[in-house]
Structure 1
Amino acid sequence: MRDKLHFANGIADRIERDQTVMAQIHNHSEDQVMHGLFPKKVTDAVLDAFSEHEKLSMPLLENEETGRQFTLLILKLIADRSRQTTQRLEQ
C-alpha cells in the first residue's frame, strides 16, 4: 500500500508541473477536468514512470476502469494539496 501511495504522489508531482493542466483543475469541475487534458497527462506520467514502477503501472495501462480510478485519485491528491497550500497562505 505504501508503494502505491508513493507512486500516486510521484504522478501527482509530475502533473502539478504542467501549468495548463493545473489551470484546468483549478477552474473546472471534476467532470470537466476528466474530459480535458488531465487523463492523458496522467497516462503520460504513468508511462514516463513505467521503467521505475512497472509492477504498479501495468494494471493502470491494461484496465480502463483501474486507470480511470487512478486518474481520479491523482485529481483528488492535487486538489487536496492545493487546498492545503491555500489554507497555509491564508493563515
Structure 2
Amino acid sequence: MKVKRIELEGRAGRVAIEREGDNIRIDSIIRDPGKEQAWLTRVVSSKQLVHADASENELWSLAQIIQRRCDGVRGTNGDIDDYYRELQRFAD
C-alpha cells in the first residue's frame, strides 16, 4: 500500500503532498504571505531518496520548509519531526 496524497494545515498555511509516478510533489500556500512567496512547489524524485543519508537529509530539509510554511514560525526539532514523519510515508 502506498500513500498517494495527504494535506496538512497549520495556522499560517497549508500543504498538499502528492506522489506522481516516481516524484513527490509538494505544493504549499501561506494565508498571509507578507514578503514571502505565497505559493511554493517542490518536486523531488524518489530515485534521489535511494541512499539513506541523502534521503534523511532531503526529507528533513523539506520538513523544515513545510513546518515553517504551515506554522508560520521556525519550529524546534520536535515540531519539524511531526512533518518529517508524514514525508516518510512518501519515501518508500
| Structure 1 and Structure 2 fold alike (TM over 0.5) | no
TM-score by length of 1: 0.42
Higher strand share: 2
Q: Which of 1 and 2 has higher RCO (CA within 8 Å, sep 6+)?
A: 1
